[in-house]
């Protein structure tokens, strides 16, 4: 790592190959269906360190996403360098997509008024199209 600290937001694209019940810290137990999920997070202190942490297998479980990352495959990461707080707006955009679903209310949304920062997009052609549009 170069020690850079680029502020920004990011989307983690995850895939669960089969349905699972997962305990998400104190938030509770949730049924996660098989399919694709997108988690939207912010890293105003630096994208590099935050994304490196999310990619590590061995870590202390701290954030809600840590619990899901133990079970899901990390398929892709979309990093968006910015100093603007656009995380919630990007998340609302994902929630408005056809077929988008909330599986775990409150997930990743402890510091805002969003219903969740984890969106289930399902599988199939519509999911692939939605994922392709994340960077825009």
135 or 98, which is more confident? Answer: 98
Q: What percent of the chain has pLDDT over 70?
A: 89
What was the pLDDT predicted at 8? 97
Tens digit of each residue's pLDDT (9 = 90 or more) over 28-71: 999 999 999 999 999 999 999 999 999 998 999 999 999 999 99
What was the pLDDT predicted at 132? 64
The neighbouring-strand residues paired with 110 are none
CA distance 59 to 102: 26
What was the pLDDT predicted at 1? 47
Q: Residue 3: what are its φ and ψ, rounded to 5°?
A: 85, 5
Q: Taking residues 65-79, what's their average pLDDT?
A: 95
Q: Taking residues 99-123, what's their average pLDDT?
A: 94
pLDDT-derived band of residue 72, with 50, 70 and 90 as boundaries? very high
Per-domain residue ranges of the chain: 8-132
- Mean residue pLDDT across the chain: 91
**Range in 18-22, 28-32, 37-41, 120-124 the model is least confident about:** 120-124
pLDDT at 3 over 90: no
Q: What is the DSSP string of 22-73?
A: EEEGGGEEEEE-SEEEEEEEE-TT-HHHHHHHHH-SS----SHHHHHHTTSE
């Amino acid at each position: 790592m170069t020690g850079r600290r680029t502020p920004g937001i990011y989307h983690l694209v995850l895939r669960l190959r089969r349905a699972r019940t997962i305990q998400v810290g104190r938030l509770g137990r949730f049924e996660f269906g098989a399919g694709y999920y997108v988690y939207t997070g912010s890293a105003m202190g630096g994208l590099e360190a935050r994304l490196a942490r999310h990619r590590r297998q061995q870590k202390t479980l701290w954030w809600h996403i840590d619990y899901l990352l133990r079970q899901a495959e990390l398929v892709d990461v979309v990093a968006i360098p910015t100093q603007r707080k656009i995380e919630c707006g990007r998340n609302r955009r994902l929630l408005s997509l056809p077929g988008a679903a909330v599986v775990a209310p409150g997930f990743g949304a402890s510091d805002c008024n969003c219903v969740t920062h984890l969106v289930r997009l399902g599988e199939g052609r519509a999911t692939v199209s939605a994922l392709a549009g994340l960077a825009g």
